[in-house]
Amino acid sequence: MSATRRLILIGGGHAHIEVLRSAAQRRFDGELVLVSPDAQQLYSGMMPAQLRGAVTERALSIDLAALCRAAGAQFVEGTVHRIAVTNIDAHVLADNASIDGNWCSVDIGAVSTGQELPGVHDYAYATRPLGAWHALLERVTDLLTSRSEGAPLSCCVVGGGAAGCELALALLARAHTLNRTLSLTMLSASPRLLPEFSTRMSSRIVARFAARGVRVETSATGTRVTARDVQLSDGRSIASELTLWLTGAAAPPLFLASQCATDAEGFLAVDATLRAVNGDALWGAGDCVSHVASPWVTRSGVYAVRGGAVLAHNLRCVTGNTLGRVRAFTPQRHTMFILDTADGRALLRWRGMLSDSRWALQLKRAIDRRFVARYIGW
């Protein structure tokens, strides 16, 4: 594709779907292109519900191709491997496409730490990209349905953060529904589960796992995965026929490979307007960026969503030659977080308050449904 006045969006994450929604409401000046490896984006907040069989994939699917059509944007299927960007233009190299443009924006999420460890790529399961998630769902169904009742399936979830805990609880619920038993181990490199939350919330989760006979190993680091086990740095191994790898966020390799402005960990460094700090014609939001003006911002969907509204506004200004009107992203310090415990309840954290209740789950379901509904039916 040759250069006209064109904005290239890389990745269909939470912030870019908001950019597309904004363009669907009122077109941007110039051309808009989205490059994404999949035409569907699954809303991660509802993945645990899908894993435990409570909802079908349709409930959490956002059709990126349809959203692009509504936004007047071109959808290009592919993964971007290189960006060459200056302060006046951008060139993007994807699987089967080479795209020239004037501006570029990235919302490609983070990758899990430890991907390079032996066996992780071959034997452990992850939530992204879409193919990996489908492989996980298929494997869970195969293993659970082929297992005779009373013969436990050994399973290890590596990563004791919110995603790891939520998916582990969903897995237990799924096994329970099918009348199968899991021998599940939660492995966390941190001294406690949910290290990013209060000790009260952590204790509630530990109690849930204890009630279900789950072994919790903290301050324990997985170093190798095989088809049968997870090996630890202290020489021990944990039997696991099904390993989920949900460790902390690492930077996607794209930025270092493309010599973009990054922080020390390789995340794209953006200023308060979400533009690359070196002034390149490159913007970004979500888990793949590092906010130099607000370094305390954690990597979570909440900030990706909030950043999306500002990104949409600023990209509209940039493409419409009204750069003077760009806004600063001022992330809020306190965000609500709701963790579905797969037992008809949820843990809700809001500032210093913790609720362990049925209504917290109802609230989560309402928020999740409302979020997905914003991006479908265009």
Residues that bind ligand FAD (CB under 6 A): 10-15, 35-38, 41, 44-45, 47-48, 79-80, 107-109, 127-129, 163, 166-167, 252, 254, 286-288, 299-302, 304
CB of 166 to ligand FAD, least distance (A): 6
CB of 93 to ligand FAD, least distance (A): 10
* CA dist., res. 349 & res. 337, Å (int): 5
**CB 15, CB 286: distance < 8 Å:** yes
Nearer to ligand FAD (CB atom), residue 11 or residue 160: 11
CB of 11 to ligand FAD, least distance (A): 3
Nearer to ligand FAD (CB atom), residue 119 or residue 301: 301
Beta strand 98-101 with 90-94: parallel, antiparallel or unpaired? antiparallel
Nearer to ligand FAD (CB atom), residue 8 or residue 214: 8
Burial 86-122 (b: 16+ CB within 10 A, else e): eeebbbbebeeeebebbbbbbbbbbbbbbeebebbee
Beta bridge partners of 169: none
* CA dist., res. 66 & res. 69, Å (int): 5
CB of 262 to ligand FAD, least distance (A): 15
CB of 324 to ligand FAD, least distance (A): 27
| Residue keyed to tokens 């597309």 | 20
**CB 191, CB 221: distance < 8 Å:** no
φ and ψ of 76, to 5 deg: -120, 120
14: part of which helix (H) or strand (E)?
helix 14-25
CB of 198 to ligand FAD, least distance (A): 16
CB of 48 to ligand FAD, least distance (A): 6
CB of 28 to ligand FAD, least distance (A): 19
Beta strand 242-245 with 124-125: parallel, antiparallel or unpaired? parallel
Secondary structure (3-state) at 357? strand
* CA dist., res. 347 & res. 220, Å (int): 25
* CA dist., res. 19 & res. 34, Å (int): 10
**CB 34, CB 12: distance < 8 Å:** yes
Nearer to ligand FAD (CB atom), residue 82 or residue 236: 82
Nearer to ligand FAD (CB atom), residue 152 or residue 248: 248
**CB 243, CB 230: distance < 8 Å:** yes
